[in-house]
């Protein structure tokens, strides 16, 4: 034992342990590391060349990490340290109007945002005592949704359908409709092409919606780790606002590609593949993401996070693995049908297969009362129409139902970027159910309705006005328009 040279009373003799890991392999966004026995899951690691990663897989000797940043020098044999820190990302109002990657680096050509708050990418969802019931509406501005498949603040509503049927369009319109409603939005774009990313951002910008929106992008050619992290980053950003009592809306576009990124990572990390080659914990992945969306009780600030996850189906197959998982996690789904889309019915929402399990409680009483039977009437009409296609002779009453059904279908049509405010929603619902539109030819309905809604928006009664006051006002306006 060496002689102890005491230089002062603060001298302590002892061993200092440091782990020194070595990179043993690098491939496709993954690094394999040996020699870090105390590394933990989700811990940040740093290589000597400056590359960083996140511990993702623990093995007896070798651990797997997803690479977050990579220099050209990263190669086997390099020393690695672990940090003891979990990954946190910058959150807060500086992200409004910005387009960033999942780690907060700017993608919009503007300077790096300076964060004063950070949030963990993965946290536990709020407990049951912290939550409140969904009771306030979140208006999408889409007639079909707000009337028949309403969404409440804090709800998780799945948008599901084949590719190119208008899923993203509905989500973007919903963000645009939050203008002036004090809802902060987060748009997460996972695995999309650069052109569709640019299209979405441009649409928001044109509508003046970017100023209350943060956009998180992990393009199709980003590292799989980034595509995997993006929804969690978006969730952490919204969570920060929710914890500060704000209402937020998060769009995950889309979770099919997120699941694929996770599958890619899992296969690269040699996890055993299960159904459709997805790892067994894919359900847990999406449930822990979506469980974080909720409405907090007044005692916890009363903030909310409404989630609109999007999932793509193939040829309308909603029984595929990822769609069924997501249907069971969410509080309802809006189903887009490619056949309706092909028939020119926009938005191509199949009302029969769509449902909102809790949104009805959040609907404004007047809108709820006016929308009451419409869903059922519409579904009966669709059935009747199918039946009538066989050339059956129908009774006068059935003919009348068909006529009204066709009228309703016309009334439900809506263009993109034309959100319908809630008073106008009530107006068309009342006009339809009080049979004020019956005298019109179906083809004329969209134009008449458009003028009516414009007028209601300008000088209609308040949402809380009595039904009679509404009907009188609508009659007078309609008479003016048709004349
Ligand atoms: N209400 C609408 N009226 C007219 N056109 C619409 C409407 N909604 C969507 N579209 C058009 O349909 C096309 C597909 O829409 P969108 O990109 O939103 O579909 P998607 O389901 O998100 O597709 P993908 O699966 O490729 O992401 C777009 O060209 C869009 O402009
Ligand atoms: Mg899309």
Asked whether residue 1 is assigned to any structural domain, the reply reads no
357 in catalytic set: yes
Task: Give the nearest ligand 1 atom to 163 CA.
Answer: 25
* Residue 374: domain span: 369-482
Domain final position from 66, 86, 106: 86
| Same domain, yes or no: 345 and 383 | no
The angle that helices 396-412 and 422-433 make with each other, rounded to 10 degrees, is 170
Q: Is residue 203 part of a domain?
A: yes
**Which residue out of 164, 314, 339 has the highest number of ligand 1 atoms within 8 Å of its CB and is therefore the one to mutate?**
164
Token pair belonging to 81: 């340290």
Taking CA atoms only, the protein residue closest to ligand 1 atom 4 is 415
Task: Kindly state whether residue 36 falls inside one of the protein's structural domains.
Answer: yes
299 and 201 within one domain: yes
DSSP for residue 403: H
Per DSSP, the three-state class of 33 is strand
Are residues 73 and 98 located together in one domain of the fold?
Answer: no
Binding pocket residue ranges, ligand 1, CB within 6 Å: 161, 163-169, 312, 346-347, 414-416
**Among 70, 86, 102, where does a domain finish?**
86
Residue 347 lies in a domain: yes
Place of tokens 């999007």: 310
Q: Cα(417) to centroid of ligand 1, in Å? A: 12
Q: For the whole model, what pTM was predicted?
A: 0.93
Pocket test for ligand 1, best of 158, 166, 310, 450 (most atoms within 8 A of CB): 166
Last residue of a domain, one of 363, 389, 423: 363
For residues 408 and 429, give the distance between their C-alpha atoms in angstroms, rounded to a whole number. Answer: 10
Q: What is the largest CA-CA distance in the chain?
A: 110
pLDDT at 62: 95
Which residue's alpha carbon is at the smallest distance from atom 11 of ligand 1? 166
CA 403 – CA 284 distance, rounded (Å)? 47
**Count of domains observed in the chain:** 3
Do 180 and 194 share a domain, yes or no?
A: yes
- Confidence (pLDDT) at 1: 45
Cα(247) to centroid(ligand 2), Å = 24
C-alpha to C-alpha distance for 324 and 283, rounded to whole angstroms: 10
Which tokens belong to 248? 């937020």
Check 179, 243, 357, 406 and give the catalytic one.
357
Distance 253 CA to ligand 2 centre (A): 7
What is 221-249 written as a DSSP string?
Answer: TS-HHHHHHHHHHHHHHHHHHHHTT-EEE
Asked if residue 14 belongs to a domain, the reply is no
Q: Are residues 61 and 114 in the same domain?
A: no
Ligand 1 center from residue 168 Cα (angstroms): 6
Closest C-alpha to ligand 1, atom 23:
164
Rounded (to 5) percent helix, strand, coil in the chain: 40, 20, 40
Q: Whose CA is nearest to atom 12 of ligand 1?
A: 166
Q: From first to last of the 483 residues of the chain, give the pLDDT tens digit.
A: 444 555 556 777 888 777 889 999 998 889 999 999 999 999 999 999 999 999 999 999 999 999 999 999 999 999 999 988 999 999 999 999 999 999 999 999 999 999 999 999 999 999 999 999 999 999 999 999 999 999 999 999 999 999 999 999 999 999 999 999 999 999 999 999 999 999 999 999 999 999 999 999 999 999 899 999 999 999 999 999 999 999 999 999 999 999 999 999 999 999 999 999 999 999 999 999 999 999 999 999 999 999 999 999 999 999 999 999 999 999 999 999 999 999 999 999 999 999 999 999 999 999 999 998 898 989 999 999 888 887 777 788 888 889 999 999 999 999 999 999 999 999 999 999 999 998 888 888 888 999 999 999 899 999 999 999 999 999 999 999 887
């Amino acid at each position: 034992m060496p002689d102890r040279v005491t230089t002062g009373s603060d001298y302590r003799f002892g061993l200092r342990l440091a782990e020194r890991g070595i990179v043993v392999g690098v491939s496709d966004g993954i690094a394999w590391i040996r020699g870090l026995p105390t590394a933990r899951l989700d811990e940040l690691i740093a290589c000597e060349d400056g590359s960083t990663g996140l511990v993702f897989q623990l093995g007896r000797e070798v651990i797997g990490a997803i690479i977050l940043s990579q220099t050209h020098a990263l190669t086997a044999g390099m020393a690695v340290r672990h940090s003891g820190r979990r990954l946190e990302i910058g959150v807060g109002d500086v992200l409004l109007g910005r387009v960033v990657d999942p780690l907060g680096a700017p993608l919009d050509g503007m300077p790096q945002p300076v964060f004063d708050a950070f949030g963990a990418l993965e946290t536990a969802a709020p407990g049951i005592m912290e939550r409140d019931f969904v009771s306030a509406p979140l208006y999408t501005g889409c007639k079909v949704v707000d009337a028949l498949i309403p969404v409440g603040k804090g709800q998780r509503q799945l948008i599901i359908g084949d590719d190119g049927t208008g899923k993203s369009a509905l989500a973007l319109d919903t963000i645009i409709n939050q203008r002036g409603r004090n809802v902060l939005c987060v748009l997460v774009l996972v695995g999309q092409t650069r052109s569709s990313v640019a299209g979405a951002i441009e649409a928001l910008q044109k509508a003046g919606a970017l100023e209350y929106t943060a956009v998180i992008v992990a393009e199709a050619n980003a590292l799989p780790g980034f595509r995997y992290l993006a929804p969690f980053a978006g969730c952490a950003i919204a969570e920060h606002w929710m914890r500060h009592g704000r209402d937020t809306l998060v769009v995950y576009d889309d979770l099919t590609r997120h699941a694929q990124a996770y599958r890619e990572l899992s296969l690269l990390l040699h996890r055993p593949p299960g159904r459709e080659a997805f790892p067994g914990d894919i359900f847990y992945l999406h449930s822990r993401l979506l469980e974080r969306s909720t409405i907090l009780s007044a005692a916890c600030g009363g903030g909310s996070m409404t989630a609109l996850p999007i999932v793509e189906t193939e040829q309308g197959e909603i029984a595929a693995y990822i769609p069924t998982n997501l249907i069971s996690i969410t509080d309802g789904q809006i189903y887009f049908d490619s056949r309706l889309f092909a028939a020119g019915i926009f938005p191509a929402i199949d009302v029969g297969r769509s449902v909102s399990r809790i949104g009805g409680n959040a609907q404004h009483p007047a809108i709820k009362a006016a929308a009451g039977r419409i869903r059922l009437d519409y579904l009966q009409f669709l059935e009747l129409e199918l039946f009538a296609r066989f050339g059956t002779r129908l009774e006068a009453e059935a003919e009348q139902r068909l006529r009204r059904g066709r009228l309703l279908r016309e009334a439900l049509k809506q263009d993109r970027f034309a959100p319908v405010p809630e008073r106008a929603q009530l107006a068309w619902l009342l006009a339809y159910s009080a049979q004020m539109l019956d005298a019109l030819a179906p083809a004329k309905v969209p134009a008449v309705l458009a003028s009516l809604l414009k007028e209601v928006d300008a000088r209609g009664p308040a949402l809380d006005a009595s039904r009679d006051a509404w009907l009188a006002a609508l009659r007078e306006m309609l008479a003016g328009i048709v004349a």
